[in-house]
Amino acid sequence: MKKFFLFSIFITFFAQGYSQFGVITFDNATNLYRIKIDTSVPNNKWQIGKPTKTFFTSAYSIPNAIVTDTIHPYPTNNNSVFYLGTTIFGGWMGTTLDFFYKMDSDTLNDYGKIEISIDTGKTFYNLLSYSQYTVYDSVGNFIVGNGFGSPIVFTGKSHSWYDFNMYSNLLPSPDTIIYRFTFHSDAIQSNRDGWMIDNISYGLWWEGIQEKSSDCKIFPDPVKDILQLDSKRKIKEISVVSELGRTILLKPINFTPISIDVKDLSDGIYILKIINDDNTVMMKKFIKLK
């Protein structure tokens, strides 16, 4: 049953065509076909709708979000699962995932987990162990991040909406990237709300495709010492990521213009990941020369 369900996901993704970037707000049909709640999982509590719970009283963008039950507390001994699928073509550099979320669970005993598959669902990896990520609260305070090997982030109670930003670089190059979101609860009834997610932004970066956006430019390229960034949009954070997916530099931005000192970097190809003030993500490839 599980294999048939996953296979049906792949068929749906491919039938809808290719994508580079997209946003899912759960308030309209745009890109919503990429979300699949796993109906083969017994008592799966993920629902899309208007939250009317004790702590989860409204979505990030009104009215809808995806929630572990829009009305009732999550049950005991439960594993609820939904999938997000994206499709690409050609060589690629990496993938990004961004969303807003609230947590209300027993710390550590009840938790959420995100996994990634690059082989059409045959193998899943803990996303936090194979990515660079940051989490901020609703006013921009840093919560956690840069956590290679950190197994659990989505647990306990968030004080507000949290903003999760991730960059991952897994090889080999796939045609389909699948994210699996799981919320797990133990045998103790806590009468809490669980996990709520809204405004999911997904992005893909591949070689050989010209950047369509003219909102942001970097120069010079190749660069030896100082990389300049000129953007028409307000930027919240930038990071420099190596070809192997390791974050070399990560810093918030509160000024313009932006100059990045890269003279100490080794020769090679790097990715400049740019997070705008509205939490959209842009990727710019540049070459570093001595």
Over residues 10-21, the mean pLDDT reads 47
Q: Which residues contact 272 (CB under 8 A, 6 or more apart)?
A: 218, 227, 229, 238, 239, 240, 241, 260, 283, 284, 285, 286
Q: Quote the CA–CA distance of 49 and 114 in Å, as a whole number.
A: 21
pLDDT (0 to 100) of residue 202: 83
pLDDT (0 to 100) of residue 12: 52
pLDDT (0 to 100) of residue 168: 76
Confidence of residue 210 (pLDDT cuts 50, 70, 90): very low
**Domains observed in the chain:** 2-205 (2.60.120.260), 216-288 (2.60.40.1220)
Confidence of residue 255 (pLDDT cuts 50, 70, 90): low
Over residues 36-49, the mean pLDDT reads 96
Enumerate the H helices of the chain as residue ranges: 2-16
Segment of 75-84, 170-179, 197-206, 272-281 carrying the highest mean pLDDT: 75-84
Confidence of residue 27 (pLDDT cuts 50, 70, 90): very high
pLDDT (0 to 100) of residue 211: 41
Asked whether 161 and 147 are in contact (CB, 8 A), the reply is: no
Over residues 225-238, the mean pLDDT reads 87
State percent of the chain over pLDDT 90. Answer: 37
Cis-peptide into 174, omega within 30 deg: no
Over residues 171-193, the mean pLDDT reads 86
Q: Please give the residue that has the higher pLDDT: either 220 or 244.
A: 220
pLDDT of 20 higher than 60: no
Over residues 271-285, the mean pLDDT reads 76
The predicted-structure confidence for 66-100, as pLDDT tens digits, reads as follows 999 999 999 999 999 999 998 755 455 567 888 99
Segment of 119-133, 142-156, 163-177 carrying the highest mean pLDDT: 119-133
Mean pLDDT over the full length of the chain:
81
Asked whether 150 and 227 are in contact (CB, 8 A), the reply is: no
Query: In this structure, are strands 154-155 and 46-49 parallel, antiparallel, or unpaired?
Result: unpaired
Asked whether 54 and 45 are in contact (CB, 8 A), the reply is: no
pLDDT (0 to 100) of residue 205: 53
pLDDT (0 to 100) of residue 169: 67
How far from 217 is each of 67, 83, 247, 265, CA to CA, in Å?
38, 34, 21, 20
Segment of 138-142, 164-168, 282-286 carrying the highest mean pLDDT: 164-168
Output the DSSP codes for 91-159.
---EEEEEEEEEEES-TTTSEEEEEEESSTTS--EEGGGSEEEEEE-TTS-EEEE--TT----EESB-S
Q: Quote the CA–CA distance of 261 and 4 in Å, as a whole number.
A: 50
Q: How many CB atoms sit inside 10 A of residue 106's CB? A: 16
Residue 8: what are its φ and ψ, rounded to 5°?
Answer: -65, -30
Confidence of residue 249 (pLDDT cuts 50, 70, 90): confident
pLDDT (0 to 100) of residue 36: 96
pLDDT (0 to 100) of residue 14: 37
Q: Please give the residue that has the higher pLDDT: either 276 or 190.
A: 190
pLDDT (0 to 100) of residue 278: 75
pLDDT of 187 higher than 50: yes
